[in-house]
Amino acid sequence: MNRARRDALVGYAFVGPFLLVYAAVLVVPLLMGIVISFNNADLFGRREWIGLANYAQALSDPVLRQAFFNTLTLTLLIVPPLTVIALLLALALNRNTRLAAVLRGVFFSSLVLSVTIVTLIWRFILTPDAGLVAVGLQAVGQPPIPFLSDPAYVIPALAVTTLWWSLGFPIMLFLAGLQQVPGDIYEAAALDGAGRWTVFRRITLPSIRRTLLLVVMLQTAAQLQIFGQAQLLTGGGPGGASRTIVLYIFEVSFGRWELGYATAIAELLFGMILLVTLLQYWFVTRQEGDRA
Amino acid sequence: MSGLELIDVSKSYGATRVLDGVSLSIAPREFIAFLGPSGSGKSTLLRIIAGLETLDSGEVHLGGQRIDGLAPGARGIAMVFQHYALYPHMTVRENMAFGLINAKVPKDEIASRIAQAADILEIGSQLDKKPGQMSGGQRQRVAIGRAIVKQPRLFLLDEPLSNLDAALRSRTRVELAQLRNRVDAALIMVTHDQAEAMTLADRIVVMNDRRIQQVGTPAEVYARPANAFVARFVGSPAMAMLAGRVISGESGRLRVRLAGGAELQTAVAAAGIAADAPVEVGLRPEHVTLAPPGSGGIAATVELVERLGDRTFIYTRLAEGSEVIACAPGFSEVRPGDEVLLAIDAAAAHVFSADGTAHHPEASA
């Protein structure tokens, strides 16, 4: 056996176990999901080929339409402010002081909490009888607001909860991006007489362009799949006002046992996320040209 | 109009003092080299002039205006950074225009300045490239171009040749020499390479240990070093230092007995140095040659031979342990381990007192 072939075999031996597990738990289920979506299927293995009927049902399902708009609204309410706030905090924390180090830890700490804890905390804050916000409102003579039971407030309440929970990771990504920017180009900019705003717009922002794209793409993909907060904080209520797509998929598959229909919705969501993230990538990289 | 004036500049980082009462005066179109080893404070001094570091005390004036309180961009200074510090996401043209746009220079003026600089630096065809697409030498030209278009009163160059390979380095050295003729500004270059300083600068500021050790033309710094540090730091190979004692002052000139017993009659004025004082005798390689066998030279053992083609440096060690470097014309045949005799041109020797103060030979009458 020649050396190149032996090297190749050793390489395959190293990635083999991972590829096997990856295929078994990710690729195969993904493909099976596509197949199941063309079936009338339940959780016990019953399959009946019905072609595109599940997809046709999805397009005319008013509950799905409501869930779709809820999810879209949440994503739009979460991703832009999350990106801006995380960037501002990262800029403020990107220095070598003890306070900055402590605060970096504080902002990151919310990330390690599970969604259960997060929703518990926010239930304490938002609950109209004795929640933190209600107490504050009462102190200034206002009536408490039923955040989690009023259709007008429930989506913003979910958005704020998610914002609070999700800040840590984008801050870390932005900090990592900012630390990649060589310090001497800031010095060059100082000698070039650039003010703070010019430095941010012409030096910092272009330098962390890729990080910015990564944060927006990751957060968009994550928020389009928002689930735990909605299920635990509101259960999708009141009257479906906070039901998200993934929550609906969960209800259809494990509540109504219509696995075929649930996977069809899941495939539609998958396609939507893919499309949105590719669009974002194209939008950011199109004028970039060939940079080193 | 006056050039750059530093008055008693001091700087500490916490408890560590990095600059101690530095004063310096530079003429408007002078080319100055800050020469010194790492940690001598030369880069800190450059950054203080640029405004990238604050000073603890002292003043900086440029063109008659006090600038140490001004923002870096308001000082009329341009800097070429060691690693160029080009904006990677901007084209060459945008890199050069950035400072001018910030200074609100009119658009057509910006265009003509860039065209002119690109012409001088021969980067006209590269203006729409990004720095990442260029070689190190080209990037350096862009960095210089970015400085030129600002038409500053003072150029600062931080180790401008250190990132270039040997061939590019000597070419860039020539270009820097030409640059100073083209610009109406003073230049300060920081370097630890004395060959750069010697070949480019009008005057060299030798720095060590937080202070200026000597300011002088390359010839002065080489021929009349102010102290033992400058003597050792400037010149390659370095000046050899031999320990000895003053034995008498004949006709007003020092006579020194070396540790090995040999005596040297120097051309250094004896005034001010007591008899029997411990001194060091400094000998440049060109003042030590190989003596023919049997002549009255000082015995030494060859340790290393450097043949440069036109001359050969012979690193030898005397019996008492000091190292002396001799120079022989052409291609010397001596080999490490050979026993040789050294002929010392004692009239060219420098003498350093115990505190490092230099005493130079006087021209023979």
Among A187, A289, A292, beta carbon nearest to B85: A187
Shortest Cα–Cα distance, B8 to chain A (Å): 24
Asked if the model's pLDDT at residue B60 lies above 60, the reply is: yes
Q: Which of residues 65-94 of B touch A (CB under 8 A)?
A: 71-74, 77-79, 81-83, 85-90
Residue range(s) defining the domain that contains residue B148: 4-225
Task: Using CA coordinates, name the residue in chain A closest to B53.
Answer: A187
Give me chain A's average pLDDT, please: 88
Asked if the model's pLDDT at residue B1 lies above 60, the reply is: no
- Please give the biggest Cα pair distance in chain A: 85
Task: Using CA coordinates, name the residue in chain B closest to A187.
Answer: B52
Task: Enumerate residues 6+ apart whose C-beta is below 8 A from B261.
Answer: none
Tokens of A221: 């993909």
CB B240 within 8 A of CB B325: yes
Shortest Cα–Cα distance, B201 to chain A (Å): 24
Instruction: Say if residue B262 is in the same domain as residue B212.
Output: no
CB B210 within 8 A of CB B41: yes
Instruction: Say if residue B119 is in the same domain as residue B217.
Output: yes
Looking at the complex, does the CB of residue A184 fall below 8 Å from at least one CB of chain B?
Answer: yes
B44 domain residue, yes or no? yes
B232 domain residue, yes or no? no
Q: What are the boundaries of each domain within chain A?
A: 60-285
B365 domain residue, yes or no? no
Task: Enumerate residues 6+ apart whose C-beta is below 8 A from A214.
Answer: A173
Residue with the two structure tokens 């922002």: A205
Instruction: Say if residue B295 is in the same domain as residue B157.
Output: no
Shortest Cα–Cα distance, A147 to chain B (Å): 46
Instruction: Say if residue B219 is in the same domain as residue B298.
Output: no
Residues of B in contact with A193 (CB under 8 A): 71-74, 99, 102-103
pLDDT in tens, A162-190: 998 888 899 999 999 999 899 899 999 99
* Secondary structure of residue B324 in the 3-state scheme: strand
Phi first, then psi, for residue A61 (nearest 5°) are -85, 115
Residues of A in contact with B130 (CB under 8 A): 289-292
Mean pLDDT is lowest, of A122-126, A200-204, B148-152, for A122-126
Using CA atoms, how far apart are residues B135 and B133, in angstroms rounded to an integer? 7
pLDDT in tens, B318-358: 988 889 999 999 898 899 999 999 999 988 999 999 888 89
Tokens of B297: 């030279």
CB contact under 8 A, B89 and A182: no
Using CA atoms, how far apart are residues A103 and A91, in angstroms rounded to an integer? 12
Instruction: Say if residue B130 is in the same domain as residue B189.
Output: yes
With CA atoms as reference, report the closest residue to B229 among B282, B286, B190, B268: B282
**pLDDT value for A137:** 84
Tokens of B1: 């109009």
Residues of A in contact with B159 (CB under 8 A): none
Segment A83-112 mean pLDDT: 89
Instruction: From B200, B225, B250, give the residue that closes a domain.
Output: B225
Asked if the model's pLDDT at residue A288 lies above 70, the reply is: no
Shortest Cα–Cα distance, B91 to chain A (Å): 10
Segment B231-258 mean pLDDT: 85
Among B52, B83, B132, beta carbon nearest to A291: B132
How long a stretch of residues is chain B?
A: 365
Using CA atoms, how far apart are residues B37 and A260, in angstroms rounded to an integer? 75
Which CATH number does the domain housing residue B322 bear? 2.40.50.140
Q: How many CA atoms lie within 13 A of A120 on its CB side?
A: 6
List, as one string, the DSSP characters of chain A: --HHHHHHHHHHHHHHHHHHHHIIIIIHHHHHHHHHHTB---TTS---B-TTHHHHHHHT-HHHHHHHHHHHHHHHHHHHHHHHHHHHHHHHH-S--HHHHHHHHHHHHHHHS-HHHHHHHHHHHH-TTT-HHHHHHHHTTPPP--TTT-HHHHHHHHHHHHHHHHSHHHHHHHHHHHHHS-HHHHHHHHHTT--HHHIIIIIIHHHTHHHHHHHHHHHHHHHHT--HHIIIIITT-STTTT--HHHHHHIIIIIS--HHHHHHHHHHHHHHHHHHHHHHHHHHHTTT-S--
CB B308 within 8 A of CB B318: no
B340 domain residue, yes or no? yes
Instruction: Say if residue B71 is in the same domain as residue B28.
Output: yes
pLDDT band for B229, please (50, 70, 90 cuts). Answer: very high
CB A227 within 8 A of CB A193: no
Instruction: Say if residue B323 is in the same domain as residue B204.
Output: no
Instruction: Say if residue B169 is in the same domain as residue B215.
Output: yes
Looking at the complex, does the CB of residue A209 fall below 8 Å from at least one CB of chain B?
Answer: yes
Task: Using CA coordinates, name the residue in chain B closest to A186.
Answer: B85
* Secondary structure of residue B106 in the 3-state scheme: coil
AA identity, residue A59: L
Instruction: Say if residue B89 is in the same domain as residue B133.
Output: yes
Asked if the model's pLDDT at residue B250 lies above 60, the reply is: no
pLDDT band for B365, please (50, 70, 90 cuts). Answer: very low
DSSP tag of B241: E
CB contact under 8 A, B88 and A291: yes
Instruction: Say if residue B28 is in the same domain as residue B177.
Output: yes
Shortest Cα–Cα distance, B78 to chain A (Å): 7
Strand (E) or helix (H) holding B9: strand B4-13
Residues of B in contact with A209 (CB under 8 A): 89
Give me chain B's average pLDDT, please: 89
CB contact under 8 A, A184 and B88: no
Looking at the complex, does the CB of residue A129 fall below 8 Å from at least one CB of chain B?
Answer: no
Task: Using CA coordinates, name the residue in chain B closest to A207.
Answer: B89
Q: What ipTM was predicted for this assembly?
A: 0.84
Among A184, A198, A292, beta carbon nearest to B81: A184
Residues of A in contact with B77 (CB under 8 A): 191
- Omega into A238 within 30° of 0, i.e. cis? yes
Looking at the complex, does the CB of residue A10 fall below 8 Å from at least one CB of chain B?
Answer: no
* CB-based burial label for B58 (10 Å; 0-12, 13-18, 19+): middle
CB contact under 8 A, B130 and A193: no
Task: Using CA coordinates, name the residue in chain A closest to B86.
Answer: A185
* Secondary structure of residue B33 in the 3-state scheme: strand
**pLDDT value for A286:** 76
B70 domain residue, yes or no? yes
pLDDT in tens, A3-40: 888 999 999 999 999 999 999 999 998 898 899 989 88
Looking at the complex, does the CB of residue B295 fall below 8 Å from at least one CB of chain A?
Answer: no
Which CATH number does the domain housing residue B89 bear? 3.40.50.300
**pLDDT value for A90:** 93
Using CA atoms, how far apart are residues A132 and A136, in angstroms rounded to an integer? 6
Shortest Cα–Cα distance, A180 to chain B (Å): 12
Task: Using CA coordinates, name the residue in chain A closest to B47.
Answer: A187
Residue B274: count of CB within 10 angstroms of its CB: 9
Phi first, then psi, for residue B273 (nearest 5°) are -120, 120
Let me know if domain A60-285 sits in CATH 3.20.20.140: no
Shortest Cα–Cα distance, B352 to chain A (Å): 42
Asked if the model's pLDDT at residue B179 lies above 90, the reply is: no
Looking at the complex, does the CB of residue B98 fall below 8 Å from at least one CB of chain A?
Answer: yes
Task: Using CA coordinates, name the residue in chain A closest to B51.
Answer: A191
**pLDDT value for B110:** 94
Tokens of B193: 């390479």
CB contact under 8 A, A193 and B73: yes
Asked if the model's pLDDT at residue B148 lies above 50, the reply is: yes
Asked if the model's pLDDT at residue A51 lies above 50, the reply is: yes
**pLDDT value for A1:** 65
Considering chain A, what percentage of its residues have pLDDT values greater than 90? 45
Looking at the complex, does the CB of residue B104 fall below 8 Å from at least one CB of chain A?
Answer: no
Chains A–B, number of C-beta pairs less than 8 Å apart: 79
Shortest Cα–Cα distance, A198 to chain B (Å): 8
Distances (CA, A) of B288 to B206, B282, B325: 25, 11, 7
* CB-based burial label for B88 (10 Å; 0-12, 13-18, 19+): middle
CB contact under 8 A, A185 and B87: yes
pLDDT in tens, A192-228: 998 899 999 999 999 998 899 999 999 999 999 989 8
Instruction: From B179, B196, B225, give the residue that closes a domain.
Output: B225
Using CA atoms, how far apart are residues A213 and A282, in angstroms rounded to an integer? 10
CB contact under 8 A, B51 and A191: yes
Instruction: Say if residue B285 is in the same domain as residue B139.
Output: no
Using CA atoms, how far apart are residues A278 and A266, in angstroms rounded to an integer? 18
Among B86, B98, B130, beta carbon nearest to A291: B130
Using CA atoms, how far apart are residues A29 and A20, in angstroms rounded to an integer? 13
pLDDT band for A290, please (50, 70, 90 cuts). Answer: very low
Instruction: From B225, B252, B274, give the residue that closes a domain.
Output: B225
For Cα atoms B344, B345, B349, give the angle at the middle one, nearest 5 degrees.
100
Task: Using CA coordinates, name the residue in chain A closest to B150.
Answer: A192
CB B242 within 8 A of CB B324: yes
CB contact under 8 A, B83 and A182: yes
pLDDT band for B217, please (50, 70, 90 cuts). Answer: very high
Instruction: Say if residue B172 is in the same domain as residue B247.
Output: no
Using CA atoms, how far apart are residues B87 and B188, in angstroms rounded to an integer? 23
Domain tally, chain B: 2
Using CA atoms, how far apart are residues A262 and A258, in angstroms rounded to an integer? 6
Task: Using CA coordinates, name the residue in chain B closest to A189.
Answer: B99
Task: Using CA coordinates, name the residue in chain B closest to A205.
Answer: B89
Looking at the complex, does the CB of residue A290 fall below 8 Å from at least one CB of chain B?
Answer: yes
pLDDT in tens, B6-42: 999 999 998 899 999 999 999 999 999 999 998 888 9
